[in-house]
Amino acid sequence: MGIPDGISTTELSSAIEHGKISALAVDCQRDLQPCAERHAALFPGGPFDPRLLSGVTLANAFGSPWASATELSIACRASLWVFAADWLADYEAKAREDIDALTDACLAVADGSEPSPAIPLAQFLAEIRDTLAISPAFTGLRPRWRTQLKRYFAAMTREWEWHDALTRQGRKPTFGEYIDNADNFGSSFVNVSHWIHTCTPDALEHIDALWAASGTVQRVLRLLNDLATVQRDIAWGDLNPLVLGVDKAEVTEHIDLLVAECLAELAPLRAKCPKEATYLERQIGFSTGFYGRTDYWGEL
C-alpha cells in the first residue's frame, strides 16, 4: 500500500513511517510480554505498569525501525532487565550487601554459571546470556559484555553509596562525578547485547568506536531522564543533579555539549556501520521527545 497519486506530503509520509514503527513496537511488546510473565517476581506492578513495557518496546522500535521484532528481542529483554535491576538496587536494597549479592550472582552468570534460584534477576540474565550464546559474535565479545555488566553494577553501587552518604552525612557527588557514573543508566549494556545479537562481522570491526559513542549517548540519556523525572526523584528519594543543586540551564548546556561530542564520534562511523551509527543517534532523538512528555515508570 502506497500513497495515492497526488497526495505526497511531508506530514503524510511522516505519519506512515511512524505507523510502521508503532506496528514494530506492538510486535515487540507481544514478544516481550511472555518474557515479563516468566519473570513476574521482578515486576510486581505499581512502578511496573503496562506503560513501562510499551515504553521499552517503543524506544527500541524507534531506535531500529529497519529491524524485525526478533532482531530487537534481546534489546527489549536487556532493557527490561535493566529496569528490574534498577528497582532492586535503588529501592529494594536495604544495605550495600544486598547490591553486592546481586552483583556477584549476575557476574557469575556472565561467567557461565547457572543462576541462583534465590535471585530472580540472575535467572533473567541467564536467559539473555543463553540467547546471546547462539550468536557467533558472543564468544569474541563475551568479555566486553561482562565488562559492561560489571560497569553497570559498579555504577549502581556507587550511586547507592552516594545516597547513603547524602542521607547520613550530607555529602553529595559533584556534577562531574555524577555524569561520569552514567553506566548506571544501563543503555550501554543494552547496546552491547543488541550488537552481539544483530551486528554483521564488518560492523563489529568498529565495536570499540561504537562502544565509546554509546557511552556518550548514555550520558545524554542519563541527563535527559533527570530533567524529566526530577519531581519523581524527589518523591522517591532518588539522586538527580537538580536535587543536588545543579542549575537546569547547566544541565541543558551539558546535554548540548554531549550531543555535539556524540555526533562527532558518529561521523566517521556512518559509512562503515551506518545502521549502528544511526541507531545511537536515534536513541538521542527518541529520548529527547519521550522525556519531554513522560517517563517509563508507573506509580509507587
The full DSSP string for 190-219 is HHHHHHHHH--HHHHTTHHHHHHHHHHHHH
Cα separation, 97 vs 274, in Å, equals 43
Q: Are 137 and 196 in contact (CB under 8 A)?
A: yes
Q: Residue 184: its pLDDT value, please? A: 97
- 294 contacts: CB under 8 Å, gap ≥ 6: 51, 55, 228
CB 262 within 8 A of CB 211: no
Per-residue confidence (pLDDT) for residue 10, from 0 to 100: 82
User: 106: buried, middle or exposed (CB in 10 Å: 19+, 13-18, 0-12)?
Assistant: buried
Q: Amino acid letter at 277?
A: A
The 3-state DSSP class for residue 263 equals helix
CB atoms within 10 A of CB 61: 25
Name the stretches of the chain with pLDDT < 50: 1
Contact in structure between 281 and 218 (CB atoms under 8 Å): no
pLDDT digits (tens, 9 = 90+) for 121-180: 999 999 999 999 999 999 999 999 999 999 999 999 999 999 999 989 999 999 999 999
Q: Which residues of 141-164 are buried (b: 16+ CB within 10 A; e: fewer)?
A: bbeebbebbbbbbebbbbbbebbe
Q: What are 244's three cell numbers?
A: 543536588
The count of C-alpha atoms lying within 13 angstroms of the C-alpha of 96, restricted to the half-sphere facing its C-beta, is 11
- 263 burial via Cβ count (<10 Å: 0-12, 13-18, 19+): middle
Q: CA gyration radius for the chain?
A: 19
What sign has the CA pseudo-torsion 202, 133, 102, 147? negative
| Structure confidence by residue, pLDDT tens digits, 9-29 | 788 888 999 999 999 999 999
pLDDT at 12: 87
- 113 Ramachandran zone, left/alpha/beta (phi>0; psi -120 to 50): beta
How far is the C-alpha of 144 from the C-alpha of 241, rounded, in Å? 29
pLDDT at 45: 86
Task: Please count the CA atoms within 13 angstroms of the CA of 171 that sit on its side-chain side.
Answer: 9
Residue 3, class by beta-carbon neighbours within 10 Å (0-12 exposed, 13-18 middle, 19+ buried)?
exposed
State the CB neighbour count (10 A cutoff) for residue 114: 10
Contact 288, 224 (CB under 8 A): yes
Rounded distance, CA 128 to CA 192, Å? 12
Report all structural domains of the chain as residue ranges with CATH numbers, in order of start. Answer: 14-287 (1.10.600.10)
pLDDT the model gives residue 291? 95
